[in-house]
Amino acid sequence: MKKCFLTIVFLSALFLLGFANEEPIKVSIESYKVWDSQSATETYEELDEVFPGDEILYVLTYENLSESTIEGLQMIALIPEGTFYIRGSATGERREHLDWESREVELYFSFDGGETFGKPPLFTEEVRGGMAVRRLVNPTAYTNIMWVYERQFKPSDILKVLYRVKVSN
């Protein structure tokens, strides 16, 4: 079985963060292995090394360090290469665990490297035999997640968003 080593420095470089304006915002990223495929156990250990089948939880924390209120904060994260998004794991989606849900956050996904975003279900179109054919995009093909904070992000406010991915085989 192939080992996959991930470090916080590498993971930090994978995230593209988008903001509605250029106000100073402190961003921190925490990553945890939440499912260990080797031992088939649930765990919340700091991310050190992962194997195919392991699940990783990313927690992104945004803090407004400026003295200005920010409108329409956009937060964009990549689904790291070698992993796929676990459907229903990002904040902003309806789920049973309401304490994880951020009601003021609108959630969008991309399957084209962040060129376009939309709310699921996402479709792609291709021309076959002269006809346009719509095809449903599987959530495992998502490449980016975007959270849009609908409220004012005031000075000293802190906002957390999270999502899970699974390491591919």
64 vs 9, 60, 147, CA distance in Å? 23, 13, 16
Q: What is the pLDDT of residue 21?
A: 43
In three-state secondary structure terms, 13 is helix
> Which of 89, 93, 75 lies closest to 19, judged by CA?
75
List the CATH number of the domain containing 148: 2.60.40
Residue type present at position 67: E
Q: Would the pLDDT of 141 be above 80?
A: yes
**What is the DSSP pairing of strand 83-85 with strand 158-167?**
antiparallel
**What are the residues whose beta carbons fall under 8 Å from the beta carbon of 157, sequence distance 6 or more?**
63, 64
Range of the domain at 139: 4-167
**Confidence category of residue 31, pLDDT binned at 50, 70, 90:** very high
Q: What is the pLDDT of residue 35?
A: 81
Q: What is the pLDDT of residue 43?
A: 80
Tell me: the pLDDT tens digits for 53-65?
999 999 999 999 9
CA distance 102 to 154: 17
Q: What is the pLDDT of residue 92?
A: 66
Cα dihedral 127/133/137/141 (nearest 10): -20
CA distance 151 to 160: 14
C-beta atoms surrounding 29 within 10 Å: 15
Q: Which of 35-44, 87-96, 125-134 has the highest mean pLDDT?
A: 125-134
- Phi, psi at 26, each rounded to 5°: -85, 130
Q: Is the dihedral of CA 93, 98, 102, 105 positive or negative?
A: positive
- Which position has the token pair 């035999």? 129
- Which position has the token pair 């060129």? 115
Q: What is the pLDDT of residue 123?
A: 94
